[in-house]
A and B are shown apart, each in its own frame.
Chain A
Amino acid sequence: MEDLDSLRTIGSAIDGRVPDDHPADAWEDRKLSYRLVNPANRRKFTIIVVGTGLAGAGAAAALGELGYTVEVFSFHDVPRRAHSVAAQGGINSPRARAVDNDSVDRFVKDTIKGGDFRGREADAYRLGQEGIRVIDHMQAIGAPFAREYGGELATRSFGGVQVSRTYYTRGQTGQQLQIAAAHALSRQVAAGNCRLHSRQEMLDLIVADGRAQGVVVRDMVSGKVRAMTAHAVILATGGYGNIFYKSTLARMSNATAIWRAHRRGAYFANPCFVQIHPTALPLMSQWQSKKILMSESLRNDGRIWAPARAGDDRAPADIPEAERDYFLERRYPAFGNLVPRDVASRNIRERIEAGYGVGPLRNAVYLDFADSIARLGRAVIRERYSNLFDMYQDQSGEDPFEVPMRIAPSVHFSMGGLWSDFNQMTSVPGLFVGGECGWGYHGANRLGANSLLSGCVDGWFTLPYSVPSYLAPLLGTPLLPLSDPAVTTAVHDVESRLSAMLSAGGTRPPDSFAAELGEILDKHASVTRNPEGLRLAIAQIRALREEFWTGVKVVGSGDRLNQELELAGRVADYLELGELLCIDALDREESAGAHLRTDHATSDGEAMRDDERWTMASAWEAAPSSGVGAGKPIRHFEPLTFVAVPLEQRNYK
């Protein structure tokens, strides 16, 4: 592929540092091999944690409890606000108390198959094994999980698996876990083990002597840029779905921390793996600020359809049964409306793009409960979905009992993220990741209710083992002084970027660049992709990025609270990450998990993996700025092996 070579350089195989045992034994063995730090010495080590979501708050609290000196940074006012708070459905844990034949092995099988064999098997085992006591711990620190009448924990079946392993607290599981974790962090703040730096945004990573040794942050109130150094840095800064402009993510969620770390040497794994959720509220006007997720449980009782004739703009009630196309039921008779997320998203997109979309912007399809209401009665449907129906009615002004819901796919979760080894350490020694900003568990698609689990397991039960092992040999090493050239250079780089944006003197606000980038990615790098489109997207993104640095208009100044400046910095990084996302999508010549490459499909249009070539994770190194391969990112690769769950192709027909 000649033109691919003009975009990227192929690097070498990298080692995930997974123990050689059966993946089920890997974590136990690894824990035993980890070095320990004497309790009396722990306070001599300073660890920076960026982000206070489930992974960040958990890691900070657990390391504080152990006695380390922890410096915690958050761009929120208080730790509880982190976006983990918004997860609705639940948290998986293979506690296997019921007799529905669940087990850790079955959990791993579901997670690996759900990820379409592009995740790391040993990581999935750790997720399941440590996931068992996550529930015990989160319950103990205050999360009031739903209980049966006998007093035991209640579970439900979620995300297409056939066992009941999802623990929940109404529709607000993320909120309850997040608040419990934030409060555990607060306890360590009060105890003096953790120091909280709120309203501080990380804008760069400090790497010296080949180790991550600090961060550069901007105080979002005073505008002051400063550095803090440490013996290790943990990033728990969430996913990058907002690169698509309007997604189900919170407004502040962004990629800057991980992207800046990438530019300082951390490899980026599988940036093209982004999950597109099939059932979100569609955009109804330009001013709608986001897409709100509607739980996929709705597909249990709702039938998805579009008009059989393109451009049919009659009200849904006026379209007779014979002129409706229940396209999922038609194309997938066995699974119907319950096909996996990616298959549903792809087919809905296909209908909308082919001109069959409904609603004022023709960007949705119907999710119709009429049959279920007729069969089960309104009371049953209300009991099952009242909060979702209320939310829909609140947002749209329409009652789903009377008019079918309009739904559309939306970017939701990023499976890609900074590459890390089995110890959650990135390619930069001393830089660790936790939660959605990492990559390992979910492969090319994430199973429902596994994201809260991965945040908790990384934060509470992985990093507190692996980070001390990294620190142990550094005993006696002083903190990098703030006068070190690595520190002053990083601070200077941040200040130059900020002033370049403030003084660009252009005419377009940062939001308009974000919108245009989102449009490019949505068109060419969403559920369905093709090489021509991706090449076009890369060219368009490059042009847009060039325009940004002269054309952006950032009003206000840098020495005070300035939300336009904050946004501009995030958009600048999206314009770089967006290109890498497209290069990765173009480079990966197969259809895996969340995405279909039209040139890698079966004769009937279904996704086709290429296990021969692509049973591996791509781990991108930032492009060298000069010399051989200048300007081209380097794609290293970690080969993946599957021992417990043999490779197989999915089939939902």
Chain B
Amino acid sequence: MRLILEVWRQESPTAEGRFTVHEITDAREEMSILELLDRLNHQLVDNGEEPVAFESDCREGICGTCGVDVNGVPHGPRDNAPACFQHIRALRDGATVRIEPLRALGFPVIRDLIVDRTGLDRIIQAGGTVAVDAGTAPDADALLVTHADAESALDFAACIGCGACVSACPNGSAHLFTGAKLAHLALVPHGKKERGRRARAMVAQMEHEFGPCSQIRECVLACPASIPITAIAAVNKERLRAAFWTRDN
């Protein structure tokens, strides 16, 4: 397959960015978007040019390291799939593909396609944790968790932290990410004990760095872990609950 790539190049966070155009003549259907970038980089390095900086690690959809906008859509054309599972076979021979960093106010560009997503980690640090020290936990078999609660917690806990939801959102909102963590931890025995203080702290940090939610739901289509839309409802539910129920739990 022949593809024309328009790729965002930006030397540093403060430098002007621009698109550069490249032709790949031997793309193969089974290549992922990331392997297409590998191919491009081989070509660039062979010509003595600097390769396009982009991030990836596990390349099997679980680490959340990768993330680029492909033709304006986070990760690529297929819904609910990370960049490493977005294959070229979804594109037309001869097509032009525009690859740029995950765009969001909360994600400043570091270089080329690499953005700084530590804002999401600061939401976790604010309260997406459980205050149990090593070795102090009681017998996990003695704390019964219904099958349904465990499965539901897993639906939310599946988040890979890639930030596609933020980039997909016209407001740059981190509601899906934050709500997934709030909902997950509200469903597990120890997590419940800090439900109120967690909601207050995480929502405050989220609003400090990211935009508001207007229920546009682009995030749900972009999410490679298929986090359900109810995660967004969880943000408001947990926030309201914490406002009325002023205790820590």
Contacts and interface: CB of A to CB of B under 8 A. Distances in A.
Interface of A: 58, 61-62, 65, 76-81, 83, 85-86, 95, 97, 133, 135-137, 139-153, 169-170, 172, 174-176, 179-180, 183-184, 186-187, 189-190, 198, 221, 250-252, 284-285, 287-290, 292-293, 391, 394-397, 460-461, 464, 509, 511, 553, 555-556, 560-564
Which 7 pairs across A and B sit closest by C-beta, in order of nearness? Answer: A151-B144, A140-B137, A187-B129, A144-B153, A147-B150, A139-B140, A62-B134
A144 B114 CA distance: 31
B39 A145 contact: no
Contact of A285 (B28, B126, B160): B28
Interface in B8-67: 11-12, 28-32, 34-35, 38-39, 42, 45-46, 48-51, 53, 55-60, 62-65
A391 B185 CA distance: 28
Contacts of A174: 62
Nearest to A75: B57
B213 interface: no
B187 interface: yes
Given A142-B191, A147-B145, A555-B51, A81 B57 contact: yes
A289 B35 contact: yes
Interface stretch (B93-101, B117-125, B238-246): B117-125
Given A76-B65, A561-B111, A561-B114, A170 B154 contact: yes
Nearest to B26: A287
Contacts of B139: 136
Given A80-B121, A144-B184, A148-B147, 18 more contacts: A76-B65, A77-B118, A136-B139, A142-B188, A144-B153, A144-B157, A152-B141, A186-B121, A250-B57, A252-B57, A285-B28, A287-B39, A289-B59, A290-B59, A391-B60, A396-B30, A397-B89, A553-B45
B4 interface: no
Contacts of B89: 397
B51 A186 contact: no
B28 A147 contact: no
Interface in B147-163: 147, 149-150, 153-154, 157-158, 160-161
Contact of A198 (B11, B35, B45, B118): B118
A561 B145 contact: no
A209 B216 CA distance: 62
Contacts of B157: 142-144, 169, 176, 179
B91 interface: no
Contacts of A189: 125
Contact of B117 (A78, A169, A391, A396): A78
A48 to B, nearest CB: 19
A200 B71 CA distance: 32
Most buried by B among A77, A151, A290: A77
Given A78-B118, A461-B135, A555-B50, A144 B39 contact: no
Nearest to B64: A81
Contacts of A564: 45, 50-51
A87 B228 CA distance: 24
9 contacts: A78-B121, A151-B147, A176-B154, A190-B129, A251-B57, A251-B58, A292-B59, A553-B48, A561-B114
A509 to B, nearest CB: 5
A251 B59 contact: yes
B30 to A, nearest CB: 6
B58 A555 contact: no
Contacts of A562: 50
B187 A144 contact: yes
A141 B130 contact: yes
A61 B118 contact: no
Contacts of B65: 76-77, 81
B103 interface: no
Nearest to B86: A394
Residue picked from B34, B111, B117, B124, most chain A C-beta under 10 Å: B124
Contacts of B85: 394
A633 to B, nearest CB: 31
B150 A142 contact: no
A62 B64 CA distance: 25
B208 interface: no
Contact of B124 (A83, A149, A175, A186): A186
Contacts of B53: 561, 563
B188 to A, nearest CB: 6
Nearest to A189: B125
Contacts of A137: 132, 134-135, 137
B248 interface: no
B30 A153 contact: no
B184 A142 contact: yes
A172 B63 CA distance: 11
B145 to A, nearest CB: 5
A564 B117 CA distance: 22
B190 A140 contact: yes
B141 A153 contact: yes
Nearest to B39: A287
Given A78-B118, A139-B140, A151-B146, A144 B188 contact: yes
Most chain A CB neighbours (cut-off 10 Å) among B141, B187, B191 = B141
B61 to A, nearest CB: 8
Contact of A169 (B124, B128, B136, B154): B154
Interface string B155-183: 00110110000000000000000000000
Given A78-B120, A135-B140, A252-B57, A288 B125 contact: no
A288 B29 CA distance: 11
B207 interface: no
B137 A133 contact: yes
A396 B85 CA distance: 11
Contacts of A150: 144
B63 A81 contact: yes
Contacts of B136: 140
B38 A86 contact: no
Contact of A140 (B12, B48, B121, B140): B140
Contacts of B87: 394
Contacts of B121: 78-80, 186
B202 to A, nearest CB: 12
B58 A85 contact: yes
B110 interface: yes
Nearest to B153: A144
A83 B35 contact: no
A175 B62 contact: yes
A47 to B, nearest CB: 15
A85 to B, nearest CB: 5
A636 B197 CA distance: 55
B124 A86 contact: no
Contacts of B137: 133, 136-137, 139-141
A436 to B, nearest CB: 15
A574 B45 CA distance: 21
B13 to A, nearest CB: 9
